[in-house]
Amino acid sequence: MEHLVDAHYVGLPSQGNVYSLTPLLLPSGAHKIILATLRRRVLSFRYNFTNDSSRLKPLVREVHFTCIPNTAEIVSIDAFHRGSSGEDYVIGITLVKPHNDPGRPPEAYLNVYCDQEWESDNSHAADRASSSEASVPHVAGGSTPSLDNAAQNCRMLELGFVPYQLTHTKLFQKNETVWVLGGSDCQVHILREDTSQNCYIEALAEDTLPEFAEKLPSPPLWTSIAFTTKDIRMSATGCECGYLKMTQCTFDGSQSDITASWELQLQGPISCVRFFSLPTEMHWQPTINNIDHLQFNLLVACSIQPSQVFMSVNKQGLSNGMELPTSASGDAVLCGMTADLDLDGSVEVLLGTYGHQLLVYKWDSNSWELRATRTLPHPVHSLHYLDVTGDGVRELLILTPKGLHVFQHHLEHVEDRVNSLVEMLLNITEDNQEKN
């Protein structure tokens, strides 16, 4: 924590919530941050950098999304990339619009924004190869007109429930990305694009993600999906009443089957669930073959009882829960994230509380220990650990109701780490050669 430098602060015109930050991956490899606020204004933040200069200029801009009615409030926002590169973004925004008659439930919508020109460019790529090439926006650190184009191109879907968290996942069998949306009707909804009708429709969970077919006891607050191997998908959902459900599915071609499922009743709302892995030792672990040995853990942020990390969930299910000490003694925990703040190659667990605290936990051979805390001026709504400076080093982003904090690793500390790691790697390869 002491190696983090306050790099930038973006003030918000009105407050957001725990679902109102989404990152977009730019072609440069840096991330752009989209921030939604309750009063319908959406800001984008990124760093402007040029090839010849390492100086970073923060750029904050308002993105004018169309089709957001005056009286509406933004609930959640999410975005993904279509295609492998470029700036073909799809942005989803959920809204609620209070009804004039206070007795009736509010109207709710999912607005999906994407640049349709890009779509047609790609679909007619064969016959329009030359023209589409010319229309590709420049991808350097400069402006990103594609987001503005997308923001003007809306497809609206009326929802029959109040939306909660909006996220997305890939259906690998069809190479299609679908929206996953928690609803007040105690269900996780799957929304997919109907290309023939040019609109979004609700898909049957049984056909796509069977783990979300069952009705939950209370509205799901957070859903997290992770792919532990090429054909195994883990998903976890935390509900308002403290119900936690985790499912393991195998998928093969178009077939997706539930192989195992676990459930647990905790106390109080579950504000966030996240899958993550800790490397067992400091070495390269990149290949698909050894991903099987990777141990997946599940961070469960609880607002009343202590938050927990369920260790090795892909092997042991929810049986091995480790409490995060003193995580319940502050105020309600609103968000959780994993980040390698000390750059030792192994992630720490971060929790953000309503009581303005950021808690940092470190795995110490058999338990989680509170290593650091940091006070922020406001409640912590959301935490992210992403590269926004475009140099490969990630930054810690903290969203509060008043603004977004960007904390950068102290560059001397990074240099120190890179130096020691490079030396270590070279020694390892040397050792290997000697053995050979």
- For 29: left if phi > 0, alpha if psi spans -120 to 50, otherwise beta; the answer is left
Smallest CA-to-CA distance from 32 within 91, 83, 84 is with 91
CB 161 within 8 A of CB 76: no
| 267-306: contacts with other proteins (CB under 8 A) | 274-277, 279, 284-288
Contacting residues for 27 by C-beta, under 8 A, at least 6 apart: 85, 86, 87, 139
426 binds other proteins (CB under 8 A): yes
89 binds other proteins (CB under 8 A): no
Number of residues that bind other proteins (CB under 8 A): 70
Please, what's the b/e burial string for 56-92 (b: 16 or more CB within 10 A of its CB; e: otherwise)?
beeeeeebebebbeeebbbbbbbbbbbeeebbbbbbb
Complex with other proteins: residue 129 or 418, whichever CB lies closer: 418
Helix (H) or strand (E) holding 149: helix 145-151
Q: Is 32 in the site for other proteins (CB under 8 A)?
A: no
Is position 330 an interface residue for other proteins (rule: CB under 8 A)?
A: no
Q: What are phi and psi of 130, to 5 degrees?
A: -70, -45
Tell me the per-residue interface mask from 114 to 143 with other proteins, x by CB under 8 A, - otherwise: ------------------------------
230 contributes a contact to other proteins by CB under 8 A: no
What's the rounded Cα separation, in Å, for the pair 25 and 2? 28
Distance CA(260)–CA(257), nearest Å, equals 9
Binding mask 57-86 toward other proteins (x if CB under 8 A, else -) reads: -x-------------------------x--
Residues 173-192 that bind other proteins (CB under 8 A): none
389 binds other proteins (CB under 8 A): yes
Nearer CB in complex with other proteins: 57/174: 57
Could you say whether residue 245 binds other proteins (CB under 8 A)? no
User: Is residue 14 within the footprint of other proteins (CB under 8 A)?
Assistant: no
CB hemisphere CA count around 433 (13 angstroms):
6
Residue 224 binds other proteins, judged by CB under 8 A: yes
- Which residue stretch of 54-62, 238-246, 249-257, 364-372 sits at the interface with other proteins (rule: CB under 8 A)? 54-62
362 contacts other proteins (rule: CB under 8 A): no
Short-list 108, 114, 60, CA closest to 91: 114
Stretch that binds other proteins, among 63-71, 120-128, 152-160, 427-435 (CB under 8 A): 427-435
Q: Which residue has the tokens 């029959």?
A: 160
Interface stretch with other proteins, choices 123-131, 205-213, 301-309, 371-379 (CB under 8 A): 371-379
Tell me how far CA of residue 52 lies from CA of 29, 47, 49, 142, 385, in angstroms. 17, 15, 9, 13, 26
Q: Which of 32, 189, 381, 402 binds other proteins (CB under 8 A)?
A: 402
The contact set with other proteins (CB under 8 A) reads 5-11, 22-23, 25, 29, 31, 47, 49, 51, 54-56, 58, 84, 224, 226, 274-277, 279, 284-288, 337-340, 343, 345, 375-377, 384-387, 389-394, 402-403, 405, 408, 410-411, 414-415, 417-419, 421-422, 425-426, 429-430, 432-433
